[in-house]
Amino acid sequence: MQIEPAAAPVPRRIGAQTDILGESPIWDDRTQCLYWVDIRRPAIRRLQTATGRFDSWAMPDLVGSIALTDEGRLLVALPQFIALFDFVSGSLEAFARPPELVPGHRFNDGRCDRQGRFWVGSMHNITRAPEGVLYKLEGRSELQPVRSGICIPNSLAFSPDGRTMYFADSLRYSLYAYDYDPASGRMDRERVLVTTEPPGFPDGSTVDAEGFIWNAEFDGWRVVRYAPDGRVDRVLPMPVQRPTCCAFGGADLDILYITTASQKMTPAELAAQPLAGALLALDVGVRGLPEPRFAVNPTFNLSTPDAVQP
């Protein structure tokens, strides 16, 4: 049943910071902290919910996405390599590089599967031409290219049982679903799950404990909850035009956090949208799932490289 706008929960602002392009929120259930990035600043953000303390670490270059790891550091997708970030020392250690560095490209959305593999997509930072690649990273192996011809990679997420993978190429206005083999890390049988109406396109997603997909619709002024079959379950109106991604957090994983963008907005648009670039939170009556952690030294058997799909 679709919730009418009047019945939808009202988002509240968390903190006073304003992001240029907030993205990749993830909840750390061990430390009870929310992490996210401002791609364009560029910076990694942290909110300690128990105290309200806000921390920020400047990054040397655009940071597309982050992931928790099983050994305490943060996995960080920088334009030319994947790094491990140490909060105590503030140091970055290069961890993995793509087989080929393409001028003008950077990493964008990334997410771990439930076994600890990291999936991340690349894109042309300026043209958004269909040149991006979806990569898979298993432990200390090389980044494996799996899918090519991507404009803007987004919405990486996995079903609760880990057998369905979600992915969006935003400029194609499509959210896809795939059969996923948790043992081998292989994706197969692509189908279009959701198609959005321009100008709103699917940006970042998360999956709740019931297996429903929550998607932030960039330029669409809304977050949408989709059933696993693609049916619209809820529409949550946002006070900003550009919500970018969402994640469940809090002690009971029952708070939906939403990152937003203020990038390329005119002074008039910013005046009309004072929450643009803010971190938002709202109670939606649904619980999320613990965020998977990247396995730096995995116990699973590393898969053979997938054939690259166009």
How many whole angstroms separate alpha carbon 118 and alpha carbon 293?
9
Burial environment of residue 51 by CB neighbours within 10 A (0 to 12, 13 to 18, 19 or more): exposed
Q: How far is residue 156 from each of residues 65, 74, 111, 112, 206, measured CA to CA in Å?
A: 11, 18, 6, 9, 8
From 19, 38, 113, 203, active-site residue: 203
The answer to whether 33 and 49 are in contact (CB under 8 A) is yes
Q: Which of 9, 14, 40, 50 lies closest to 259 in space, CA to CA?
A: 14
Contacts 24+ apart (CB under 8 A), 175-181: 175/202, 175/205, 175/213, 175/215, 175/226, 177/230, 180/113
CB 155 within 8 A of CB 174: no
Query: Residues 87, 44: contact at Cβ < 8 Å?
Result: no
**Cβ distance 204 to 246 under 8 Å?**
yes
- Distance CA(117)–CA(25), nearest Å, equals 18
Query: Nearest Cα to 201, choosing from 160, 148, 261?
Result: 261
d(CA 140, CA 60): 23
Q: Residue 253: left if φ>0, alpha if ψ -120 to 50, beta else—which one?
A: left
Q: Active-site residue 252, yes or no?
A: no
Classified as helix, coil or strand, 272 is helix
Residues with a known catalytic role: 203
